[in-house]
Structure 1
Amino acid sequence: MLSLTSDIRTPWHRVPAGAKLLTLLAATALAFWLRTPGQAGVFLAAVWALYLPGGGRFLRQGLRLMKPVLPFVVIILGWHWFTGALAAGVVIVARIVALVSLANLVTMTTRLQDMLDRVDAALALLRLPARWRRRLALSVALVIRFTPVLVQKGAALGQAWRARSTRRPGWRLVLPFALVALDDAERVAEALRARSGGL
């Protein structure tokens, strides 16, 4: 559960974690400057081109990780089509898909410990105590790791509901999703205590 790193080796596995995290940060800032569907489309295509050196299996693995994003794509596009602002909706969707894809690429090609070390080194510039830095770095790394996992589990809960009922799940999934998240958090906490005795 603590590792989402792909076992399919790519050139990006050899790139330092710090460089990949800085690239992700820069790409996020750049995405908000995109104004037209053409610009957003080029940005999205450039991100997905980064998957190609890993081969077809790596690309399919990345596409599978994007499945939980599809409902949001449909909702956003549908709403903007209804309000007559489809071009704006396309830009928003392209930004979201591109940035989630890039974040997935980082997690698929970077070990958790490497990300932890880079975040800790960045926090060292703030001259925080080492114990605080490690805790903050671990928090950031776990957020990066577990966001796609929780999105996938939320989508799975939605699919399970739709298989059993014709009604929309809505708020009814809040409690089971919270329980799933708490269960995962408890398991991760136990694993961390077993490995490090706490930070």
Structure 2
Amino acid sequence: MLTLTCPIKTPVHRIGAGPKLLGLAVVSVALFQLQSPLLVGAALCATAAVYLAFGWQFARHGAALLRPLWLFLVILALWHLWTGDIAAGAVLAGKMLIAVALANLVTMTTQLAEMIAVVERTTAPLARFGLSPRALAVAIALVIRFTPVLMDKAALLGQAWRARSQHRVNWRIILPLGLMALDDADHVAEAIRARGGL
């Protein structure tokens, strides 16, 4: 399994997971109140400046994590070009980029163990209703850790497709990718059971 934590140390690494997650929540709520393309553009520039302030390598690492958004951005662009509401499309795309970039900033600068501890603390009251805070925290951690793994496997499937076919990669890789994800989930479940379960 991989982790999204960036090995390049920054001052943000020294801030606890709780304050970072709270700050992310507050900024996200404020971000989605913005309706002006100029304000969203300014927020996007500020987000890019934060990444660049920690060095070119850190910014490149963060930009690489935004690659999966390209398909959503293309769909947004095509839809808003068709409806003729380009300004609204630009605002929505900018908000999406900023929100994901800020969430990536948190995961890049926070150890997974710290995030698990925060999730466990905040969901502790749910134990009264029969929900295990530990199980929820581990589930969130697995999603974070396996996202880059599945992205790498999708890229490998795409390469295998291109090596065997002259046609472009299409929806047919979804089934093998889904089966690979289920196989990984089965292995992880066995490993968790072997270690005593949750």
Q: How far did residue 93 of structure 1 move?
A: 0.9
Pick closer, same or farther for the CA change 1:127–1:175 going to 2, 3 Å: closer
Q: How far did residue 143 of structure 1 move?
A: 2.8
Q: Quote the RMSD (CA, aligned, Å).
A: 2.6
Partner of 2:93: 93
Partner of 1:180: 180
Q: How far did residue 7 of structure 1 move?
A: 1.0
Structure 2: 5+ residue runs without aligned partners? none
Secondary structure at the counterpart of residue 132 of structure 2: helix
Secondary structure at the counterpart of residue 114 of structure 1: helix
Partner of 1:5: 5
Secondary structure at the counterpart of residue 38 of structure 2: helix
Secondary structure at the counterpart of residue 188 of structure 1: helix
State the distance in 2 between where 1:124 and 1:63 align: 35
Q: How far did residue 130 of structure 1 move?
A: 9.5
Assess if the C-alpha contact under 8 Å between 2:126 and 2:132 holds in 1.
Answer: no
Partner of 1:65: 65
Q: So what's the TM-score if we normalise by structure 1?
A: 0.84
Structure 1: 5+ residue runs without aligned partners? none
Q: How far did residue 162 of structure 1 move?
A: 5.5
State the distance in 2 between where 1:168 and 1:127 align: 45
The residue type paired with residue 141 of structure 1 is: A
Partner of 1:197: 196
The residue type paired with residue 78 of structure 1 is: L
Assess if the C-alpha contact under 8 Å between 2:76 and 2:93 holds in 1.
Answer: yes
State the distance in 2 between where 1:54 and 1:189 align: 38
Bigger shift: residues 104-113 or 127-136: 127-136
Assess if the C-alpha contact under 8 Å between 1:11 and 1:53 holds in 2.
Answer: no
State the distance in 2 between where 1:14 and 1:130 align: 34
Bigger shift: residues 43-52 or 105-114: 43-52
State the distance in 2 between where 1:162 and 1:82 align: 31
Pick closer, same or farther for the CA change 1:111–1:186 going to 2, 3 Å: farther
The residue type paired with residue 198 of structure 1 is: G
Partner of 1:166: 167
Assess if the C-alpha contact under 8 Å between 1:6 and 1:109 holds in 2.
Answer: yes
Which aligned pairs between 1:139-158 and structure 2 lie closer than 5 A? 139-147=139-147, 149-151=149-151, 153-154=153-154, 157-158=157-158
Assess if the C-alpha contact under 8 Å between 2:62 and 2:105 holds in 1.
Answer: yes
State the distance in 1 between where 2:83 and 2:71 align: 18
The residue type paired with residue 197 of structure 1 is: G
Q: So what's the TM-score if we normalise by structure 2?
A: 0.84
Pick closer, same or farther for the CA change 1:35–1:155 going to 2, 3 Å: farther
Count matched residues.
197
Q: Percent identity?
A: 49
Moved over 6 A (4+): none
Assess if the C-alpha contact under 8 Å between 2:47 and 2:101 holds in 1.
Answer: yes
Q: Deviations over 1:122-145 (max 9, x none)?
A: 012445489811001112233344
The residue type paired with residue 26 of structure 1 is: V
Partner of 1:55: 55
Q: How far did residue 175 of structure 1 move?
A: 0.3
